[in-house]
Structure 1
């Protein structure tokens, strides 16, 4: 009886050790080394009121960065963060300025379209007499 159990256990182990697809190549395992990087960008468009930016630095193991955005209520939000595999994502959020809200509410300011009347730049002559 012990021989049958041992033989069955060995057979199950051998079957489970074989890959499920015998004809596929084994997947390569790449050991990626951490690569340091740094980048930054900023957008400030006075016409539309768009103002935001982001900068980030990495030594390959930890990431430190900051981003900011001009909020619709007039405040500027700045987020300073740090992230790594041990401590996770840690952010420090700060607001600069005071929220401003309009005193009068109403429909958005829109402009009525002007009628379009095309004027030919030349007078065509009839092709028949």
Structure 2
């Protein structure tokens, strides 16, 4: 009987639960991948830029009219942009950059300014006077 009790206590002691994290026994590093072979030469960013573009918006419902155009060849840039002003004129900015000369702009206005007639009206109206209701007794 004592032997049976001793075996039962030993088996309970050996079967205690494992708490916490135990790392896996074998460790393998993550695989590394080589980049895919390139069948074209890498782009060179050493060449000067060369582009030209133009865009514009003309919406008669909201009276929006604006746009921009620009062309660049190396370090020489030319362009202009315009906007319809609320007074009816069109403001146009023509600019150029020639190497290290900096940004040189010329601002012009096309059309005549139109201003709506303005009539000042009093904005304050005094509250109506309070007249008490008659009391009948």
TMscore range, shorter length: 0.5 to 0.7
Equivalent position SS for 1:65: strand
In structure 1, how many angstroms separate the alpha carbons of the residues matched to 2:113 and 2:86?
Answer: 9
SS state at 2:118 partner: coil
Partner of 1:49: 63
Counterpart check, 1:60 vs 2:74: yes
Matching residue of 1:4: none
Q: 1:1-129, aligned counterparts within 5 Å?
A: 32-104=46-118
SS at 2:48's partner residue? coil
Gaps of 5+ in 2: 1-43, 121-137
Secondary structure of 2:93's match?
strand
List alignment gaps of at least 5 residues for structure 1: 1-29, 107-129
Task: For residues 18-55 of structure 1, give each alpha carbon's deviation from its aligned partner in whole angstroms, at most 9, with x where no partner exists.
Answer: xxxxxxxxxxxx86211200010000000000000100
Higher Rg: 2
The alignment covers a number of residue pairs equal to: 77
- In structure 1, C-alpha distance between the alignment counterparts of 2:66 and 2:92, rounded to whole Å: 10
